Structure 1
Amino acid sequence: MFTPRSAVFIGGAAIVPAIEYCRDRGFRGPIYVVNPRRSELAGVRCVPSVASLPEVPDVAFIAIPHESVVGLVGELSKFGVAGAICHSSGFSEMHGGEKSQRDLVAAAGDMPIIGPNTAGFANFADRSAFMMFEFGDHDQAGNVALISNGSSYLLDLGFSDRSVKLAYSVGLGNAAMINAADVMDMVLDDDRVRAVNLYMESIGDAAALSAAGLKAARKGIPVIVVKGGRTNAGQRATQSHTASLAGDDIVSSALFSRLGFVEVTSSTEAAETLKMLVYAPKIRGRRTGFTTGSGTYAVMGGDIAEVNGIDLQPPSREASAELEKHLPPFVHPANPLDLSSAVDWGFDRALDNYRAFMLDDWDMAVYTSIYVSERPESWHPSTIAFAQAARERGIPAAFVNTLPETFPKSIREKLIGEGVVPLQGMEDGLRAISNAMRASELADILSRRTDEEIVLPVFPVGLPEGIALDEASAKKELAAFGIAVPRSIVVAPDQTSRLDQLSFPVAVKALSAGLAHKSELGAVVLRLATPGDASAAIGKMADKLTRTAPELSIRTFLVEEMVNDVVGELLVGIRRVPSIGLALTVGMGGTEAELLRDTATILLPASRTTIAQTVRSLKLFQVLDGWRGRPKGDVEAAVDAIQKFAQFAVSRGNRFVEAEINPLIVRPLGRGAVAVDALMTLMKEN
C-alpha cells in the first residue's frame, strides 16, 4: 500500500490537486480515475466503476460523499485492492457518525484503510504521494517519518523552511483501522528513517504503541511526540487525590517516558529537535560549551539553557589559561563566552579561540548568533572555525540562529556539510538541544530495561463501573498482599466492649464505601487515649453523621492503633486509565499533597528499581532521607510496600479500577512503612 505500483483516485473535480501532486512527486505507475459522470479528470480517462478498472490497483484514494463510501469500500475490498485512503468525512468525528465508521470497517474486511477524514499519506522516499493537496516539496533523500492525527500538523512540517527532510508524511484521520502504532511499526522497517515524529490527539491503543516503541528503542530510532488535547481527569478528580494529582496529561507523559519518547510542545520545536536527532551524533551528557556573538545573546541564551537543563559549567583552569592567550584584554574566559569581536578576527584567530575553549571535555558545543539577510557571510568564517574546532575534538555542534527567518537555506546546508546542526530560533533551538540530550538519556535507560518493562499489557477499552470498598475492606485486601496496616477492629456504636484489645492512642473513622474525604465531614477523630474516649467519640460521630450525611447510612466504625513514630508520609495511588492501563502515582502525602503537587507518575508493570527511582525523584524526598539531621525513614520498606501495591493492582487484572493509600507512613529506619488510610474500587467478581 505504501509502495504501490498502480493507483486509483475515486471522486470528482476535487481530486485533481491530489492527482497532480502524485505526479509532481514522481509516481511512475499507472493512475486510474473512477467517476461515472466524467470522461476525464486531470488528463486521465475516467472509468465508470471499480469493476471497469483494467487491473487491480495497489492503493485507492477515496473522496466522495460519505453516504456512498461504505458501499464503495466493500467493492474495493472484493476487487482485491491492497489498501485504501478515505479522505471523505462524516464519520466518528461528527455527532452520530460512529455507526457509519463501524460499517466502514466491516465493509473493508481485510483491506486496510487509512482514515476516514484524512488528507492521505506520502512516501516521499519511494515517490508515492496520495494526499488531497500539496504537502511540501520533498525528494527521496528524506529521513524523518511524520505521523499525525491531523492534517494541519503535516502541513506545518511539510512546508517548514527548516531543513527537515521527510521520508513519510502520514495523516491518520479518525484511525478507524490503521493507527499511529501500525504506521510506526511499518516505517521502522525502513533503514532510511532516522527519526519519527508523532502528533497524537488521543492514544487509542497504548499496548500497540508500546510494542512499536520497543521496536524503535531496540533499533536506536528516536521518537518525538506532540500530544494535543491535553485535559484533566475531570469529575474523577473530586473522588481521589490520585486523579487530581495525575490527570490525563500526566499519565500520557508517563507513557511517553516509559517508551523513551521525547515530548515537545509545538511544530517548530519538533522541527528543530528532529534536526538535532538526525544531523548530530548521540550526545553523551549535558555539559555544554556555549559561545555567542553578543553579550545579550550570552545572557538570554544562558537563561534559556539553564531553564532547560543544559549544564553551562565555567571553563577549566587549563582552558581559561589557553583562552587568555588569544582573547582581547576586555574579554574574560566564561561560559557562555562572548566573542562579539570575532567577526573581525578572520578564520585563523577564531579557530585558535575555539580550540582553546574546547580543551574541556564538553558533551555539546553551541554557537549562538544571527545571520543578517543583507550580509549572510559576515559570521561565516567564525562559524566554520567553530565547526572545525568541534570536529577536531569529536564534540557534537550546533549553530543557533537567534531568529528563524534570517537563516538562509544555503547557509544551513553548508553547516550540515560541516557537521554543525543549524537551529532556527533561540528558544526552540536551545530546547531542541536539551531534547536531544533527553533522547540520549532515555535511550540509555531503555537499553538497561527488559522488554517486559517497556511493553504494556492489553487492557479493554473504556473504564468499567466498579464497586467502592470501605476503608476496612480495602485494608483487608492490602494486608492479604503483605502490606502493613494498623491493628484495628470494626465496631458499632452499641458494641464497643472490645476496644480494650487495642493499644492506645487510637483513631476512630466512620466506615462507608462512599466516604472519600472523612476529615471534611467530621468522620475521623485522632489521638484518643482510652477506650472510654474512643467509645464516646464513636457515639458522638454517629449522631452527627446521622444528621449531616444520612445518605451514607453509616452503621460501623473502624478503630485502629495510631502510628506515632512518623518520619514522613507518602501518597500512593493507582488508577486504571482508559486506553492506557494502570498508572501509579507517588507523592509526598498529607494535606499539603495537592498544594505542593510533588508527585511522579509511572505506568505498570514496573520493576522495583523503577519504583525506587520514582520515589527518590520527588523534590521533597530528602525529608525521608535524613534531611538536616532528621531521622532517616525506612525508605526501602516504603518501596517494598509500593511494589506490593503495584503487584496487587496488576494481579487483579480487569477487576482493578482504582486504589489509593493516603498516607503511607514511613517510620524510622528498620521499622517499616504502614498504610494508615486506603480507598479502593474493584469490579465485582463474576
Structure 2
Amino acid sequence: MTRADRLKRMLNPACVAWFGGAGLAPAIGYMQANGFAGEAVVVNPRRAEIAGLTCVPCVGDLRRAPDLAILVIPKEAVLETVRALSERGCGGVVCITSGFSESADGTARQAELVAAAGEMPVIGPNCPGIANFLDGNAFMMDHFGNHAPGRNVAARGAADGGVAVKDVAVRGVAVISNGGAYLSDLGCADRAQPIAYLIGLGNQAMVSIADMLDAVLDDNRVTAVNVYFEGIGDVQKLSQAAAKAARNGIPVVAIKGGRSAAGARAAQSHTASLSGDAAVASALFRRFGWIEVTTPTEAIETVKMLSFTAIPKGARTGFITSSGSYAVLGGDIAEQAGLQMVAPTAAAAAALDLVLPTYVGPANPLDISDAHGWAQADQLPIYRAFAQDQHDLFVQVMCYPPEGGWDMSTWDATTGALAATKGDRPAAFVNTLAEALPRAARDRMIANAMAPLQGIEDGLRAVAHAARYGARRDMLDPDAMLLPAPRCPQPGGTGNSMSEAAAKSWLSEAGLDVPRHWIVDGPDTLADIACTCAVKALVPGLLHKTEAGAVALTVAPRDLPATIRAMAGRLAAQGLNPDGFLIEEMIQNPVGELLVGIRHVPDIGLTLTLAIGGIAVELMQDTATLILPAPRADIAAALKGLKLAPLLLGYRGRPAADLAVMLSAIETLCACVADHPDIAELEVNPLLLTQSRAVIADAVLTLKG
C-alpha cells in the first residue's frame, strides 16, 4: 500500500481509536456532531467509558487494528504506543501530543518516534488533527466549524446550472496547514466557505504537506486546495503534487507565514519548520502556477471564487454597482488588483442609453443608481444591454443591509437581475463590508452560480486571482513544474568565499567574459599597463570592498602606484592586510549593470535572483527570483519585469544592451553552479552590459561548509 493510499485510509476510516483521558470528550463530541458513523473506541486503562465510548486498557485489547489512532497522551508514552500500533497493523496515527522537535529537548524524541512508526504514517506530532467533512470524519482537538455533509451550502461548478441549493453535489476546498489557528480561522468564519478537508500537520515528522496534497488531489469532490506554509520542504515531492494539481485542473491557493524576521522566528519556535526566504517561496508558487495570497480572509474569498462559479478565462470585467462611490473606489481597487474594465462598445452604450435613468450614463464601472430600487423585471433590460459586450466575467459591488435592517428585496432583485442575464459567464457579488452579507442572500447567489464575496478589497482581489489563474490555466505545463531533489554538498567545501580573482579565473575558464586583468603584490610589481583601470584590494573575507575603501575606479596608468599605496594605507589603518591587488581594465561606455545571484536554498535547491546592479540594488528593492532550472523564456520575462529594465533595453532612444548576450551569460552562470554541487552561492554584481558584451565586473563565490 502506498503512502497516499494509507493517508486516504486515515482520512476515511471505518474504525477509530482515541488515546487519552477525560479531555477527549469535546473532541469526541465534535466527531459525533459531524456524522462519523464508523466504529470508535477509547484506549484508557483507568476508565470504562469516555463521552459514551467504551474504553479498553491497551492496544492489545483492541478488537481490530484501527484505521486511525489519535494520540492525546503524555509525550513519554507516545513511543511505546506508536510502536505497538505499528506492530498491530494500524492504518496511521494522528499525534496531537507536543514536546517533540518544536521544543528545545525534543529533536531526538521525534527521531525515535519516526523509527518506532516504521512504515505506518504519523501525522504530527504537535498537530491539531484532521477532518474529512465530505464523509463525516472529524478528528480534531478543538472546534473548527460545523461542516457535516448537507449542513452547509455545497460548492458547485458552472455545469450545475440553476439547480436548487439542496440539489447541489457535496464538494469543497481542502485546507492543509502546519498549525491549527489557520484552520480554525477558515473553518469557523461565517462566510459560506465550502470546506471539504481541514488537515493540520504540525511538525511534519513523517507526513509532509506534499504528501497530503497528493492524497486529497485524488478526490474529485475537491474544488480547490488552500495550503498554509510556515516552512517549505520536500520540494521534489511538492513539485510532483503541483504537477498533479495542474493535470487535474485543481487550483491551489498558497499562503506563506514567516515572511518577516519576527514571523520567521515565530515559525521556527512554533512548528520547528525553518522558514524559507519570502521571495523564494513566491518564486516557487509561481513555478507551480499557484495563487499566492497574504491573509486568511483573502484566502477564504479566493477559494469561494474558485468554487462557486466558473473560473474566468480572462480579466475583462463587467463591473456593476448602485453607487457612484463604489464605482470610483471599487474601480480603483479592481484595476489595481489587475481587473480590466473596458468602456462599453458603441452598440452597448446606445442600448444602455435607452434603459438607464436619464441622469446616468453608460460606463464601466456601471452605476445603475436608483434603478437598483426597481423590480427585477424592470432592471433586466439594463443588465441585458450591459452584458452584450464581450466580458470574461461580471462583478457586482454593493452592500446588503444587516439582517433585521431594511427590506432586502431591492438588493435581491438587483442580484437576481445579474444572475438572469450573465449567461454561462462567471459572476461574483462583492459585499463592500465583510460582515454584512446575510446567509440567505449568500445561499441564493450560490444557487445561481454566483460567488458571494465579502469585503471589497479581499473580494476584488479574489476575483482578480481567479481571472489570472483562468487565463493561464490551459498554458500550465505540469512537466515544467517538476524539480530535482536538492543536492547534498560534496566533501571538501570550506564554507569560505573565493577571492574575486580566483572566482573570475574560474568563470573565465567556463567561457564567461571577464575584464582584462593583472594581479600584483604592490606598487613595485606593476606590469606595463596602458589602459584606464579599476583597482581592488584582495582581502580574505572582505565582501563589501567599497565601504572599506578597497576599490578605486577610473584610475589612469600613471596614477596606479599612488592609488595602490593609498589603498594599502587605508586598509592597514583598519587592521586589514591585502594578499595583493587586482587591477582590471575599465569597461568603456556600459549601457547598464545587472546583479545575478545564484544560491542553494536548503530543502528547495538552486534559485536565481536578478536585479538592476550596482549600489542602488538595495535601495530600489527591485528584484526577480526564479527557481532553477528555468527556461530562457522565463529568465527573459523576469528581466523585462524589473522596473528599471527599460534602462537596459533602450529607453527613450538610449543605447540598448544585447539581450541575447545578457541571457547567454546568465544561463552560463546558472549552468556553472548547477554543475558544481559544492557551491553555496555565486553573486555577480555588477554584470556590466554594453551593446555587445556582458562582462563580469565583480564576483563573489562561496563554497558550502
**CA-to-partner distance for each residue in 1:556-577, whole Å, 9 max, x for gaps?**
1111111112111111111222
Distance of aligned partners of 1:400 and 1:494 in 2 relative to their CA distance in 1, 3 Å threshold: closer
Unmatched tracts of structure 1, length 5 or more: 236-245
Instruction: Identify the match of residue 655 of structure 2 among 613, 623, 631.
Output: 631
Distance of aligned partners of 1:403 and 1:93 in 2 relative to their CA distance in 1, 3 Å threshold: same
Tell me the distance in 1 between the aligned counterparts of 2:631 and 2:230: 29
The letter for the 2-side match of 1:340 is S
Which residue is 2:587 aligned to? 563
Q: Tell whether 2:440 aligns with 1:416.
A: no
Q: Tell whether 2:688 aligns with 1:665.
A: yes
1:9–1:32 Cα contact (<8 Å) kept: yes
Which residue is 1:368 aligned to? 397
Which residue is 2:506 aligned to? 477
Tell me the distance in 2 between the aligned counterparts of 1:233 and 1:626: 41
1:147–1:183 Cα contact (<8 Å) kept: yes
Q: Tell whether 2:555 aligns with 1:528.
A: yes
Which residue is 1:259 aligned to? 288
Instruction: Identify the match of residue 603 of structure 2 among 579, 599, 611.
Output: 579
User: Which aligned pairs between 1:540-551 and structure 2 lie closer than 5 A?
Assistant: 540-550=566-576
Tell me the distance in 1 between the aligned counterparts of 2:311 and 2:337: 18
Q: Tell whether 2:495 aligns with 1:466.
A: yes
1:576–1:582 Cα contact (<8 Å) kept: yes
Which residue is 1:238 aligned to? none
Instruction: Identify the match of residue 642 of structure 2 among 603, 607, 618.
Output: 618
Q: Tell whether 2:313 aligns with 1:284.
A: yes
2:99–2:126 Cα contact (<8 Å) kept: yes
User: Which aligned pairs between 1:74-153 and structure 2 lie closer than 5 A?
Assistant: 74-140=83-149, 141-153=170-182
Instruction: Identify the match of residue 181 of structure 1 among 206, 210, 235.
Output: 210
Which residue is 2:618 aligned to? 594
Which residue is 1:455 aligned to? 483
1:371–1:378 Cα contact (<8 Å) kept: no
Q: How far is 1:84 from its partner?
A: 0.5
Q: Tell whether 2:697 aligns with 1:676.
A: yes
1:285–1:363 Cα contact (<8 Å) kept: yes
Which residue is 1:342 aligned to? 371
Q: How far is 1:36 from its partner?
A: 0.5
Tell me the distance in 1 between the aligned counterparts of 2:325 and 2:628: 46
> What SS does the aligned partner of 2:255 have?
strand
Which residue is 1:214 aligned to? 243
Q: How far is 1:486 from its partner?
A: 0.6
**CA-to-partner distance for each residue in 1:150-204, whole Å, 9 max, x for gaps?**
1111111112222222211101111111111100000011111120001111113
2:540–2:578 Cα contact (<8 Å) kept: no
Tell me the distance in 1 between the aligned counterparts of 2:672 and 2:417: 60
Tell me the distance in 2 between the aligned counterparts of 1:378 and 1:347: 8
Tell me the distance in 2 between the aligned counterparts of 1:621 and 1:257: 20
**CA-to-partner distance for each residue in 1:422-454, whole Å, 9 max, x for gaps?**
11111111111111123224534523xx62454
**CA-to-partner distance for each residue in 1:538-593, whole Å, 9 max, x for gaps?**
2332233223232xx31211111111121111111112222222221101112211
Instruction: Identify the match of residue 412 of structure 2 among 368, 380, 385.
Output: 380
The letter for the 2-side match of 1:84 is V
> What SS does the aligned partner of 1:468 have?
coil
1:302–1:336 Cα contact (<8 Å) kept: yes
Q: How far is 1:280 from its partner?
A: 2.2
> What SS does the aligned partner of 1:325 have?
helix
Distance of aligned partners of 1:586 and 1:444 in 2 relative to their CA distance in 1, 3 Å threshold: farther
Q: Tell whether 2:192 aligns with 1:163.
A: yes
1:462–1:579 Cα contact (<8 Å) kept: no
Tell me the distance in 2 between the aligned counterparts of 1:333 and 1:437: 24
2:226–2:253 Cα contact (<8 Å) kept: yes
Tell me the distance in 2 between the aligned counterparts of 1:548 and 1:201: 42
1:460–1:579 Cα contact (<8 Å) kept: no
1:231–1:247 Cα contact (<8 Å) kept: no
**CA-to-partner distance for each residue in 1:353-375, whole Å, 9 max, x for gaps?**
11211222112211111221232
1:214–1:455 Cα contact (<8 Å) kept: no
Which residue is 2:63 aligned to? 54
The letter for the 1-side match of 2:485 is P
Which residue is 1:239 aligned to? none
User: Which aligned pairs between 1:431-450 and structure 2 lie closer than 5 A?
Assistant: 431-447=461-477
> What SS does the aligned partner of 2:607 have?
strand
Distance of aligned partners of 1:607 and 1:147 in 2 relative to their CA distance in 1, 3 Å threshold: same
Distance of aligned partners of 1:12 and 1:453 in 2 relative to their CA distance in 1, 3 Å threshold: closer
Distance of aligned partners of 1:651 and 1:234 in 2 relative to their CA distance in 1, 3 Å threshold: farther
Tell me the distance in 1 between the aligned counterparts of 2:41 and 2:119: 22
Tell me the distance in 2 between the aligned counterparts of 1:58 and 1:83: 6
Q: How far is 1:333 from its partner?
A: 1.3
Comparing 558-567 with 474-483, which one deviates more in the overlay?
Answer: 474-483
Q: Tell whether 2:522 aligns with 1:513.
A: no
User: Which aligned pairs between 1:388-427 and structure 2 lie closer than 5 A?
Assistant: 388-391=420-423, 394-427=424-457
2:608–2:625 Cα contact (<8 Å) kept: yes
User: Which aligned pairs between 1:204-243 and structure 2 lie closer than 5 A?
Assistant: 204-232=233-261
* Identical amino acids, percent of aligned pairs: 47
> What SS does the aligned partner of 1:194 have?
strand
The letter for the 2-side match of 1:143 is G
Tell me the distance in 2 between the aligned counterparts of 1:210 and 1:461: 22
Which residue is 1:242 aligned to? none
Tell me the distance in 1 between the aligned counterparts of 2:454 and 2:291: 19
The letter for the 2-side match of 1:107 is A
Distance of aligned partners of 1:485 and 1:462 in 2 relative to their CA distance in 1, 3 Å threshold: closer
Tell me the distance in 2 between the aligned counterparts of 1:577 and 1:34: 44
Tell me the distance in 2 between the aligned counterparts of 1:260 and 1:145: 17
> What SS does the aligned partner of 2:355 have?
coil
The letter for the 2-side match of 1:134 is H
Distance of aligned partners of 1:12 and 1:412 in 2 relative to their CA distance in 1, 3 Å threshold: same
2:231–2:276 Cα contact (<8 Å) kept: no
Q: How far is 1:318 from its partner?
A: 2.3
Q: How far is 1:683 from its partner?
A: 3.2
Q: How far is 1:462 from its partner?
A: 14
> What SS does the aligned partner of 1:587 have?
strand
The letter for the 2-side match of 1:534 is L
Number of residue-to-residue matches in the alignment = 662
Distance of aligned partners of 1:444 and 1:602 in 2 relative to their CA distance in 1, 3 Å threshold: farther
Instruction: Identify the match of residue 648 of structure 1 among 668, 672, 687.
Output: 672
1:232–1:248 Cα contact (<8 Å) kept: no
Comparing 279-288 with 80-89, which one deviates more in the overlay?
Answer: 279-288
> What SS does the aligned partner of 2:497 have?
strand
Please provide the CA RMSD for this pair: 2.1
**CA-to-partner distance for each residue in 1:510-531, whole Å, 9 max, x for gaps?**
113312111111111111222x
The letter for the 2-side match of 1:212 is A
> What SS does the aligned partner of 2:318 have?
strand
The letter for the 2-side match of 1:510 is A
> What SS does the aligned partner of 1:612 have?
helix
Tell me the distance in 2 between the aligned counterparts of 1:455 and 1:580: 9
2:239–2:481 Cα contact (<8 Å) kept: no
Q: Compute the TM-score of the two structures, normalised by the length of structure 1.
A: 0.93
Tell me the distance in 2 between the aligned counterparts of 1:359 and 1:216: 34
Distance of aligned partners of 1:96 and 1:427 in 2 relative to their CA distance in 1, 3 Å threshold: same
1:232–1:247 Cα contact (<8 Å) kept: no
Q: How far is 1:135 from its partner?
A: 1.9
